[in-house]
Amino acid sequence: MVEVRLSRFQGPLDLLLHLISRAKIDIREIFVSEITEQYLASVRDVSGLDLELASEFLQMAALLLEIKSRSLLPKPPKEAEGEEDPKEALIRRLEEYKRIKEAGQVLRPMEEEALQRLYRLPMELPGRGRAELETIKLDALAEAFLKLLRRPRPGAGTLAPERRIEREKWTIASCAAEILAAIYALGEVSFFALFEEDAEIARLVAVFIAMLELLKAGRIAIRQEEAYGEISITKGKAA
């Protein structure tokens, strides 16, 4: 006598797979084993389930009975073209569900690990809509940043022994404060002067994004008087 609580299973396919695994047989052998009888015995009382889920278990029971009755009767003529044998269709569904369930078991530890992590929302500086570039083109600003990234840095050609995720050394807010402090102290700062010669890429990116956020907020202004000329940063209208 096999006792099964249907509330433990997510649907009839889940119950069938449990019975197959318990009997230690191949999926394609379920119709020559006692699995069908065990399934029918387990769904005799579905009163504890909601109507929709109970109907799914009962529908599967009807399908198993149909397949079993077909196996006892003389073999019917060849199935109409395009019509799938219900036995083969059920086996295919079981095999697909088994693969999905196995994949879920592989992904579950990753999900549990991800749930232990805390994520910080992006930091945004108050802005005044879209930033307008008056005396410098966006292409020139992008090209200037690419020059920074092409600078040779110590250890740039070596491979790290392992990949490690570390806490951010520089935040957008702290880099923005540094930019504003330099502008307030000097009045005007060269674009390239904001970036140290041996700065890490993460530092370059943080300072560049902070500069764009300040530009968007109107706290700074970026100018280039002539093509390929010096790019300077000064106080903006909202500074």
Q: What is the distance between the alpha carbons of residues 1 and 51, in angstroms, rounded to a whole number?
A: 26
> Token match 């073999």: residue?
75
Per-residue pLDDT band for 179 (boundaries 50, 70, 90) equals very high
Contact 36, 68 (CB under 8 A): yes
pLDDT at 182 over 70: yes
Cα 110 to chain centroid distance, Å, stands at 12
The whole-model pTM stands at 0.42
Q: Which two tokens stand for residue 115?
A: 């749930």
Per-residue pLDDT band for 1 (boundaries 50, 70, 90) equals very low
In this structure, the number of other CB atoms found within 10 A of the CB of residue 216 comes to 19
Q: What is the distance between the alpha carbons of residues 177 and 220, in angstroms, rounded to a whole number?
A: 12
pLDDT, one tens digit per residue, over 88-107 is 888 888 889 888 888 888 88
User: Amino acid identity of 103?
Assistant: A
Calculate the alpha carbon distances from 32 to 60, 66, 78, 95 in Å. 17, 14, 22, 17
Close Cβ partners of 108 (under 8 Å, ≥ 6 residues apart): none
Give 232's strand partners: 190, 223
pLDDT for 178 equals 92
> Which stretch of 2-6, 88-92, 102-106, 124-128 has the lowest confidence by average pLDDT?
2-6
In terms of pLDDT, which residue wins out, 198 or 98?
98
pLDDT at 37 over 70: yes
Give residue limits of the domains in the chain. 6-74+83-115, 120-152+169-239
pLDDT at 4 over 60: no
- Taking all residues of the chain, what is their mean pLDDT, rounded to a whole number? 78
Query: What's the average model confidence in pLDDT over 106-131?
Result: 74
pLDDT at 76 over 50: yes
Query: What's the average model confidence in pLDDT over 69-75?
Result: 72
pLDDT for 2 equals 46
Topology given in CATH for the domain delimited by 120-152+169-239: Arc Repressor Mutant, subunit A (1.10.10)
For the chain, percent of residues with pLDDT exceeding 90 = 5
pLDDT at 7 over 80: no
Nearest Cα to Cα of residue 207 among 153, 149, 156, 151: 149
- DSSP-derived secondary structure for 16-71: HHHHHHHHT--GGGGGGSSHHHHHHHHTS--TTS-HHHHHHHHHHHHHHHHHHHHH
